[in-house]
Structure 1
């Protein structure tokens, strides 16, 4: 008796770049919309003779970008460094706080009003206070502002993810005499991970915005926020918009990098 076995194709377990998970339609569609918006923007400025102090034309902004590219890149490095440090510190603080709040009810109850207060603190009021505390010659105040902007959404999203763990899974781990760390590693964290990355994607762009706004109210010279203020004060509005464009690119870069890390993590930890 002859048995014919059909072998299933071997699964490719080699690591691939997460960019392969992104559909081209999700990239081309926003680019097409962006081009249409720029064309319409240029036409409106030319057709209605809009003054530069109201809205410069994209062509004028692009001229300033090419003429001051080195300055824009240098400012983006300063703002990006503060935003990056704030993102990492805020993410660690948010995840750690959510883990504590998810494990101990009294911590959750005590942290709720604190998180609510941090969520509504205006950056315009916090930045000058931090500059007076830590000094205006260092970037500590800007980093703290960015960190707070990140910690709140990361904390809230992580805590929501931790609460999605089903009780039946926890009961099963208890029946198997699993330790607290084993429960966290095999049940809690895998359930909460998508929510953590959702918070990070939102917070990564907020960190850039927070660091940028904090630069308006003092601190060391440098950064895109200071450059925007100086350009607007000298009535060079196309140059101010050029620095704004640099800030937009920086925020998009933070968002895309966070998204790629999320795609890589989901592929690397995908169940077999």
Structure 2
């Protein structure tokens, strides 16, 4: 039983030898980032680019240092909505995929709904939700983030559920295993890497969705609202400082999701 579970779950992870290439995967992007920032600074200085077109990294760093409390506070507000959306969207996506993988009629009914949900524009959905729940509460922003997460989690989880080899199912049937035993030993371990692939994609999308949803109103304090307020007052370096905060927030969500995936992988499959 255990060997089948390990075989199904390990195949997808084998293509990502994270422990072996950890330093290269960290240092290479950092080195590239330093080079890009240096070239950016040189281009702004040499070409005398105006701040409203593209502020220099030095000016942005100065605004971050002067407004670090505001940036952190905005990241906390946006991150809270994104985190709730990630959790809710992840649960809905996995539950929906489990139902669709078990019942063909659910799969057929959900296909068009998921396809429609995947193309719903946030810029159109956010104002509608604000009119329904009010812009003074975070309900609309959380729903927007959850919807952005649920679609990739659903699609990836459903794909993982369908990756179980027929020979494994036949072997479990030969052992007279029940439905829960098949799910525990074969289906879920095989689908887990795909679930986390959807969550990693959804973690970044949750931050983006929560950020964009803030553009359309609501309490001042989130990164999205701070970006629009700074740009409206022509303080473009400050606006880019909040954009930097949003980038860091998205990276933190992605890294946190990846860390959880690695921990579960090592804990259950040493």
TM-score of the two chains, using structure 1 as the length reference: 0.91
CA distance in 2, matches of 1:115, 1:20: 35
Work out whether 1:236 is the aligned partner of 2:235. yes
Deviations 1:70-124 (A, max 9, x none): 0000000000000000000000000010001001111000000000000000000
In the TM superposition, residue 22 of structure 1 has moved relative to its aligned partner by 5.9
CA distance in 2, matches of 1:135, 1:110: 31
CA distance in 2, matches of 1:85, 1:20: 30
CA distance in 2, matches of 1:20, 1:159: 28
Aligned counterpart, 2:4: none
Alignment of 1:160-199 (within 5 A): 160-199=159-198
Deviations 1:151-181 (A, max 9, x none): 0000000000111011121122122221111
Deviations 1:213-262 (A, max 9, x none): 00001122220000000000000000000000000000000000011111
Which of structures 1 and 2 has the bigger CA Rg? Answer: 1
Alpha-carbon distance change, 81 to 21 in structure 1, aligned in 2, over 3 angstroms: farther
Alignment of 1:132-143 (within 5 A): 132-143=131-142
Is the Cα–Cα contact under 8 Å of residues 21 and 263 in structure 1 kept in the other structure? no
Aligned counterpart, 1:15: none
- Structure 1 vs Structure 2 CA RMSD: 1.1
CA distance in 2, matches of 1:56, 1:103: 53
Is the Cα–Cα contact under 8 Å of residues 161 and 192 in structure 1 kept in the other structure? yes
Aligned counterpart, 2:7: none
Is the Cα–Cα contact under 8 Å of residues 97 and 155 in structure 1 kept in the other structure? yes
CA distance in 2, matches of 1:106, 1:42: 57
CA distance in 2, matches of 1:21, 1:201: 20
Moved more, 247-256 or 262-271: 262-271
CA distance in 1, matches of 2:191, 2:21: 23
Deviations 1:180-229 (A, max 9, x none): 11111100001111111111111100000000000001122220000000
- The SS at the match of 1:190 is helix
Work out whether 1:253 is the aligned partner of 2:256. no
Alignment of 1:198-217 (within 5 A): 198-217=197-216
- The SS at the match of 2:51 is coil
CA distance in 1, matches of 2:258, 2:64: 27
Q: How many pairs were matched up?
A: 253
CA distance in 1, matches of 2:187, 2:95: 13
TM-score of the two chains, using structure 2 as the length reference: 0.92
Alpha-carbon distance change, 129 to 197 in structure 1, aligned in 2, over 3 angstroms: same
CA distance in 2, matches of 1:180, 1:250: 40
Aligned counterpart, 1:58: 57
CA distance in 2, matches of 1:42, 1:31: 17
Aligned counterpart, 1:4: none
In the TM superposition, residue 20 of structure 1 has moved relative to its aligned partner by 6.1
Instruction: Give structure 1 stretches of 5+ with no counterpart.
Output: 1-18
